Chain A
């Protein structure tokens, strides 16, 4: 398989796989936050910053895959 077609197959897959991981992480975190807020609604303000930070770190992994895709995108053709 020429490396162009390998790249063409691998790059979208890379994003998809990274998104699966990030999605699981985000889902777990969102669930935790929702449960916490449900149990203790007055803590919503306290939870906001850690939640956003956790989302940012978890989501960054997909962004790395996304950037890798754009770095290698021009080498397909």
Chain B
């Protein structure tokens, strides 16, 4: 039983804590999120303390001198932990949040142990344990099957939570409705009126199901959640496509493999040729963005489906991902001080330093405006284009409205071709801008050097050809 397990558990817990604290701040208020984070941090401190204690106890057995760091952790940790725990309890923060935060670590450790045990059991049941390393804990990562099992468990839990949420939503508004029936009905009529007179939208599968079941609560919930579900579908399509095409990769590729290899190689060549080889490590990220957005945009062209990118939520989520990744890359590659220096406009002489206090807020603001414009651009374009198609479908139906036929005049097909092109361009723009932001986040010297080299090569080639 190595400490590696604990290290990994700690890392996962830290990530989960950040997520949970963010969710807590959003849904339960700032104090709730803070309590969650503090509770989890306290729990992590406990783990650190125990780890140090364990190392101290083992040190004698291994014949090694105990590390001073562990001694200090054990001696100083106990009173600090006690004080911290007392502080959390006495600070008046929501106890529920702190408790949930405290249990995150335990949940992670439990789930990890369960996954490993399951993987081991499966290995044993399928007779694979013979040919594999006997100690599943020593493996650098839990086996693929364990990951898959954890994924399925999570998906099932998510589904259960979804159903619970759906059933809870139907009961809650019903109770206050009795008290203020008039207000409620007027509100409802306003809402439905707004929905009808708002933007024209093509029918989607969840919407039709909701209509067919007379707005059953579960169908309504699915309809309200259709954007995330459709983006999930896009992910599934991509994953299935890749898995099918690369199930048995061959030296002489088949049709599917050939197509996907061309697409991926094209993405890589495009980035490397435009920005130079510095950007090659980021090709998977921006390439994924491109294909994901392309799939989502083109989903709007298929009847009964909808582009998830017509919702600002989807595009904003992707923009936030790009923002976080760009900032992470900038800090990672330039160092914290270099990052601040870069934000101040990289001053080199006295004038540069004099202007730096003015430039700094502007650059900082620019960093935050970038994701906003990214999200708004993609949303606006895709939304406008799908709206255009929907409007022309409506016109086509109205053109044949004088006859009792259930079909319309297909004048929107022209705009669907336009939509195909525009979708691809918008996906390209999003991925390209993400690449540019990443490129700007890289250290300047390296970047300029690369550009010079790149241009130099081009210039060198030019006179030779002319």
> What residues of B have a CB within 8 angstroms of the CB of A6 in the complex?
none
A52/B380 in contact, CB under 8 A: no
- What is the distance, in angstroms, from A56's C-beta to the closest C-beta of chain B? 4
- Given A52-B425, A74-B198, A77-B197, check contact A67 B376 (CB 8 Å): yes
User: Do A52 and B432 have beta carbons less than 8 Å apart?
Assistant: yes
Which one, A52, A53, A64, contacts B376 given CB within 8 A?
A64
Q: Contact check, B432 vs A49: say whether CB atoms are below 8 A apart.
A: yes
Q: Mark A33-77, 1 if CB is under 8 A from B, else 0.
A: 000000000100110010011011001100110110010011001
A49 to B286, alpha carbons, bound, how many Å? Answer: 15
Contact yes or no, A49 B194, CB < 8 A: no
Q: How many residues of B are in contact with the other chain, CB < 8 A? A: 22
Q: B273 — nearest CB in chain A belongs to which residue?
A: A45
Report the bound CA distance from A77 to B429 in whole Å: 35
A66 contacts which chain B residues (CB < 8 A)? 380, 384
* B458 and chain A: residue at smallest CB distance: A46
A60 and B425 contact, CB distance less than 8 A: no
Q: Are A56 and B380 in contact, with the CB atoms below 8 A? A: no
Instruction: Flag if B380 contacts A67 (CB, 8 Å).
Output: yes
Question: Closest Cβ of chain B: how far from A4's Cβ, in Å?
Answer: 14
Q: Check: B433 CB closer than 8 A to any chain A CB.
A: yes
Residues of B with C-beta under 8 A to A74: 194, 198
- Closest residue of chain A to B428 (Cβ to Cβ) is A52
26 pairs from A and B in contact (CB 8 Å cutoff): A46-B458, A49-B274, A52-B428, A52-B432, A53-B432, A53-B433, A53-B436, A55-B429, A56-B377, A56-B432, A56-B433, A59-B377, A60-B373, A60-B376, A60-B380, A63-B376, A63-B380, A63-B381, A63-B384, A66-B380, A66-B384, A67-B380, A70-B383, A74-B194, A74-B198, A77-B194
Q: With a CB–CB cut-off of 8 A, which chain B residues contact A49?
A: 274, 432
Residues of B414-466 at the interface with A, using a CB-CB cut-off of 8 Å, are: 425, 428-429, 432-433, 436, 458, 465
Check if B377 sits within 8 Å of A60, measured CB to CB: yes
Q: A66 to B432, alpha carbons, bound, how many Å?
A: 23
Q: How far is the CA of A12 from the CA of B198 in the complex (A)?
A: 15
Nearest CB of chain B from residue A30's CB, rounded to whole Å: 14
What separation, in Å, do the CA atoms of A35 and B57 have in the docked complex?
Answer: 77
A70 to B199, CA, bound (A): 9
- Find out whether the CB atom of B379 lies under 8 angstroms from the CB atom of A67: yes
Q: How far is the CA of A68 from the CA of B274 in the complex (A)?
A: 34
| Contact, CB under 8 Å: A63 / B432 | no
How many angstroms from the CA of A74 to the CA of B198 in the assembled complex?
8
| Complex-state Cα separation, A63 to B315, whole angstroms | 14
A63→B197 contact, CB < 8 A: no
* Shortest distance between the CB of B306 and any CB in chain A (Å): 17
